[in-house]
Structure 1
């Protein structure tokens, strides 16, 4: 059962303090309804016996003390998954932004999974060929490994990331190979470049993209990597794909 409150006592940056809250959970998702009927989402960062501190994903503009409804949904952030996520483009919060059909999920996976014991992992042995000699020869990428790309202004990070995403493959394997691509704080031009490159080469059909733009909420960049990792885990363990 949802619980609604009109007891916001303080708005500070992206944070709300809500009074007289009972049974709120850490990382619980809340829905914030403004006076004009628009809605925003947030997440519980801290609770006490009668207070909750909520971080708002879309910013706190328009939120009024004593005038805004906050609904506690009783669940944590989840990603709806099914085989149909392949070839789709999502924003940093996991909502489709490619004008495609709605995802009808086989499951909704908690993105805040427990960390895996490194000793319990399978030993990484499957070499992923990226087609970039500096990576393949000096910093070899293997199946299941994350590949962060950090770059300064003016450097060709977009070209490098797009090249890896469209060329990467596991040699000698017959399993379907998928690429989960997460972008944080990029410009619209960069996002359009990635999407166009993958579509023009057909690599989009085996890719899942999570894109957080520079003008999207900064706090969403905490969620985006977890969304991408959750999608990768689903494809690898449920669909038995090379990711």
Structure 2
């Protein structure tokens, strides 16, 4: 005579409080800076920013220097490499196979992804502040004008880098592979605008179409000229942003929520 073994009792964790969101954010910040690669890369970005600002302050004519101009230089250097740091923050879970640990300790993936996004924004804002301090030092060295328009400073140094952070985050989620994401980001940042510029110079119809379908082109009024969007430029910014930022972000989020950690 045989007996049926009782079914194992499932572990009820419904009453277990989730990990506080603030703790998740702090963990993601530590993961970004605790490794030797993270610290060296962050330090290298700031060092490069300092070198470029000092060279600009020493080489540019005094009459063409101002705090706003130097802040734009510092923000431009930061904007090229800050998304790479964000990509490393996001893709390391998959390339270093730490995703199993992360999603075991906190199985609610939307909270983990949200913590990564907040951590990336906080880290980016911190580096922007440091870059602005470097710009102030550069203006002291160059003896330039201290006047700066708030719109120029906010758009050129802050908004541009926040858009870059979100772009890097979207590419990282979509590809979940560090080399592929970094290469794709630089193609998007360097190769695509060049190709669009060449085609725009050759074809008038494409020159009119480019701001609607290419996000870098649509952003140009924010970061040059009068540093503002007006009328049709807003429609172009939103349309191109939906194609190159919102759509990859949504697709990447869907993929990250469904991907199986290995």
The TM-score bracket by the shorter chain reads under 0.3
Q: Report the TM-score, using the length of structure 2 for normalisation.
A: 0.25
* Structure ID, larger Rg: 2
Give the structure with the higher percent helix.
2
Structure whose residues are more often strand by fraction = 1
